[in-house]
Structure 1
């Protein structure tokens, strides 16, 4: 049984998909879908994204943008404190960005913040960001995987609603309410206990037993039954999450775009979405938003043309995370590729270390990967598909796409920006470095007696206004 420093007072048990590698903010190892929701509670930034994906004030109470959209002036809230008691002032914001942009910190953010020219403190409560050129995605980058922390070696130490008090690797995280948070009156949970359940069956059993308060990801195939049985209230949000099949463009056979296109044509993605996402999923070839271009329809080369031996099969070295439903999806995709003379030799990994030590740092030919949520298309395209992008593990490179994404980054007119991203997606649909198997909504669940929790499009855990009634306070999570 897990003991609590605050007794049974207002404890919330949240079951997440999987453990993170690191919680050191703004570093490569913490730039993940597992660490980000936790870091958002501990060390938020000047602004945040609400459930409607609108920018809202967070540690800044207000901001102004110059007419040329190259200068952002933020006003910090009065009396802000980090968890170590130090003041959150303009100089601490400047220090954070000096640290983020220093190549020695191991961050992927310097490339994201390439348009940033300078950060200056005007006084204790006002900080100015100067850009080389207009950059409409700037606020979304602040609200995304970028965090403000105190100048201390003990991290994470932020100014968020909760502070980290315990991390037992392989078991749980324990966070406690921070009384000096600027919006503390709207936080009704004293302690947050985070555990992990990568397997969909395990998540379903936790819901059936009532041994949870919030389930980060409810298995889509079970959501209706669990809701109808009164075991969980289901909350969902439209999301940019995609389950993808990535192909290594640097080595055979997928250094040949035609081989990648043949794989794309062989897959019945509608069957995959129906089997694994149901009404909360969609078959799509778009990496962002709605479809802009179909999968190329040219006839596939006969499988025998490229088999490794006459009448034989070509064996592909594949990797995947063991987080469900990935292993089952990989099995179905493997069966769909057999008529092409392709056979998958898969290796499954726990997550961590799937990201980044396996997906980014090892050699493979084909990989099943969840393309995580992004706050803005600028992040997705520049990280995943531009030459040398921090998440571009396929090695894909196309100068025409790089140029479109660079133009879109500074396009002030949203119609023109959408046109540029649509053109970029048309290139991706032809080149197919990754195949979107299906898109899915964020699908979360809450135990009866928990109120106020809503699924977030970015899978953040917004606990403002969330309450747990007395019926669940005495329950503890068995480990």
Structure 2
């Protein structure tokens, strides 16, 4: 979702719009034993076994040489967004955070949980109590030791409404976490405590198969209380001087809407395995400009959209791919007086030709979304989206159905007691202002014109303005993405629970809420699967969103990069251990 949660996972906004991050799973053994990998080659294997292509670094004889600096690389970060771990929401931000912040646990190149600040842990027989032993001698960049209290302080802030985190609900996994958020108990009643400086005990609210995986998520990163209170909540992580980090890199500079520079942290516990001295992060949102920068030796990694991919294919340049597990969908703001009607929403969904979108806009390896959830496994260890297909066939059709769309539209108009022109006048679509987002907006505008006979306005705006409009519910239609934060359908489906911080359409259905609550309070895997399938059916029946496509990410690297980096479904990108030629 990384909103992915998901997600929502974006590196360069090189496709069409923004992805949020989302929500967590992985059953692991009760004690960590596998060290973090420090020299892996790039991988394109999806942990869910979904369609992906193997990555191969560019060969010397055909690669663009890359940037000139020694022991440094330059990547494209994409559109600027919040980097405060307590309030950030975009996947490219969570990915960057992993370079300078270390959680209790981390993910390796295979999206497996490995030690982070915690070196080992035990889990009670009932799966509710986790005891973490923390790494001693680890320090913050302000010189303070990293201790268990840095986690309890961070999690308390995450659960404090005034912090304004869209991911506060991630901390509902802690016993009484939601009650504390709602002011119904004190912090001493919440299921986490610092037993000592280097021992942390966590008690869960209920069975949570993906809990350990969740502890790797950016919103649950530690925060040093002394530094946070010195700079103040309003300034924390808003400028380079207001970052206090514990990871492999530290933030040297931040030129807003232009670049972020990370430099190696010599005090990092694994510093001897970190070859790079610097990671330069550019903020280029135009896909053509990004490719031009790559070809000019100003970038070492370039994410490809449909047009730039075709250019590199024509050059016979090696293209790498991976599944980031992201799904992209149309949002229908149910607060809108017209879109509050389910038949109107269904009509708009039925008017979208998803195959035409892939052919004309997304292109590449992307796939039509016939349901919502993707990138994660179901109870049988198979991709959950395959389970949905087996149960219901296609919940969302690949091609537009103009007759069914018009029938639903007219039924909605009758229920609302308004004309088609009146309805259309109250519907507009917010888009980003990148070249790809502009093409998207024009595509959907034409789909509604052709298949429904209505005209809607399109409102291009900056990524931040578009995000703010969603948060403030100042929109009718929007197109965005969601990526998984952990390997379980819950990471997608709990987003539409009433009041969820990422439920930007304000969908509310007591039956849906009950299904998710039941799935979140049981270890019965078959029951969880049954409930998740039922949630997918409700989404299709009531259409608070209209899934459009599942994304594959294509990218190229310069001849400067050797290996030691990875791009995966749950990490997006990690260049911490990159080696150079």
State the 1:301 CA deviation: 3.7
Equivalent residue number for residue 222 of structure 1: 308
| In structure 1, C-alpha distance between the alignment counterparts of 2:205 and 2:149, rounded to whole Å | 21
8 Å contact kept, 1:244–1:436: yes
8 Å contact kept, 1:63–1:74: yes
| In structure 1, C-alpha distance between the alignment counterparts of 2:549 and 2:533, rounded to whole Å | 18
| In structure 1, C-alpha distance between the alignment counterparts of 2:200 and 2:101, rounded to whole Å | 18
Q: 1:330 to 1:369 in 2, by over 3 A?
A: same
1:295 corresponds to which of 392, 395, 401: 395
1:275 corresponds to which of 360, 372, 391: 360
Equivalent residue number for residue 477 of structure 1: none
Q: The residue matched to 1:158 in structure 2 has which SS? A: coil
| In structure 2, C-alpha distance between the alignment counterparts of 1:329 and 1:209, rounded to whole Å | 28
| In structure 2, C-alpha distance between the alignment counterparts of 1:344 and 1:145, rounded to whole Å | 38
| In structure 2, C-alpha distance between the alignment counterparts of 1:310 and 1:271, rounded to whole Å | 25
Equivalent residue number for residue 67 of structure 1: 125
Q: Which moved more, 1:32-41 or 1:238-247?
A: 32-41
| In structure 1, C-alpha distance between the alignment counterparts of 2:515 and 2:423, rounded to whole Å | 39
1:249 aligns with 2:349: no
Q: 1:313 to 1:46 in 2, by over 3 A?
A: closer
State the 1:311 CA deviation: 8.1
Equivalent residue number for residue 189 of structure 1: 276
Q: What residue ranges of structure 1 are gaps of 5+ in the alignment?
A: 1-6, 470-479
8 Å contact kept, 2:71–2:276: yes
1:116 aligns with 2:174: yes
Q: The residue matched to 2:517 in structure 1 has which SS? A: helix
Equivalent residue number for residue 45 of structure 2: none
For residues 234-263 of structure 1, the C-alpha deviation after alignment (integer angstroms, 9 at most, x for no partner) is 332222212211111122322111111112
Q: 1:417 to 1:323 in 2, by over 3 A?
A: farther
- TM-score normalised by L of structure 2: 0.73
State the 1:144 CA deviation: 1.8
- TM-score normalised by L of structure 1: 0.88
Q: The residue matched to 2:464 in structure 1 has which SS? A: coil
2:222 corresponds to which of 117, 126, 148: 148
The within-5 A match list for 1:44-59 is 44-59=102-117
Q: 1:236 to 1:124 in 2, by over 3 A?
A: same
Equivalent residue number for residue 533 of structure 2: 422
8 Å contact kept, 1:304–1:340: no
Q: 1:418 to 1:49 in 2, by over 3 A?
A: farther
Q: 1:31 to 1:252 in 2, by over 3 A?
A: same
Equivalent residue number for residue 386 of structure 1: 497
8 Å contact kept, 2:104–2:117: yes
Equivalent residue number for residue 23 of structure 1: 83
Equivalent residue number for residue 127 of structure 1: 200
The within-5 A match list for 1:436-455 is 436-452=547-563, 453-455=565-567
State the 1:279 CA deviation: 4.1
Q: 1:463 to 1:66 in 2, by over 3 A?
A: same
For residues 62-111 of structure 1, the C-alpha deviation after alignment (integer angstroms, 9 at most, x for no partner) is 21111100001111123211111111122322222223223332223332
Equivalent residue number for residue 100 of structure 1: 158
State the 1:120 CA deviation: 1.7
Equivalent residue number for residue 253 of structure 2: 166
| In structure 2, C-alpha distance between the alignment counterparts of 1:343 and 1:248, rounded to whole Å | 18
Give the paired residue count: 456
| In structure 2, C-alpha distance between the alignment counterparts of 1:35 and 1:400, rounded to whole Å | 34
For residues 300-329 of structure 1, the C-alpha deviation after alignment (integer angstroms, 9 at most, x for no partner) is 344667496578982322212224522212
For residues 112-168 of structure 1, the C-alpha deviation after alignment (integer angstroms, 9 at most, x for no partner) is 222312212223322110112111232232212321132213543221111111111
Relative contact order, higher structure (CA 8 A, sep 6+): 2
Equivalent residue number for residue 543 of structure 2: 432
Alignment RMSD: 2.5
Q: 1:310 to 1:353 in 2, by over 3 A?
A: closer
8 Å contact kept, 1:221–1:276: no
| In structure 1, C-alpha distance between the alignment counterparts of 2:298 and 2:555, rounded to whole Å | 15
Q: 1:207 to 1:296 in 2, by over 3 A?
A: closer
Q: 1:296 to 1:176 in 2, by over 3 A?
A: closer
8 Å contact kept, 1:174–1:194: yes
| In structure 2, C-alpha distance between the alignment counterparts of 1:378 and 1:173, rounded to whole Å | 33
8 Å contact kept, 1:443–1:455: no
Q: The residue matched to 2:281 in structure 1 has which SS? A: strand
8 Å contact kept, 1:218–1:444: yes
Equivalent residue number for residue 461 of structure 1: 573
| In structure 2, C-alpha distance between the alignment counterparts of 1:327 and 1:310, rounded to whole Å | 25
| In structure 2, C-alpha distance between the alignment counterparts of 1:235 and 1:418, rounded to whole Å | 33
Equivalent residue number for residue 137 of structure 1: 210
Q: 1:309 to 1:353 in 2, by over 3 A?
A: closer
State the 1:425 CA deviation: 0.7
State the 1:379 CA deviation: 3.5
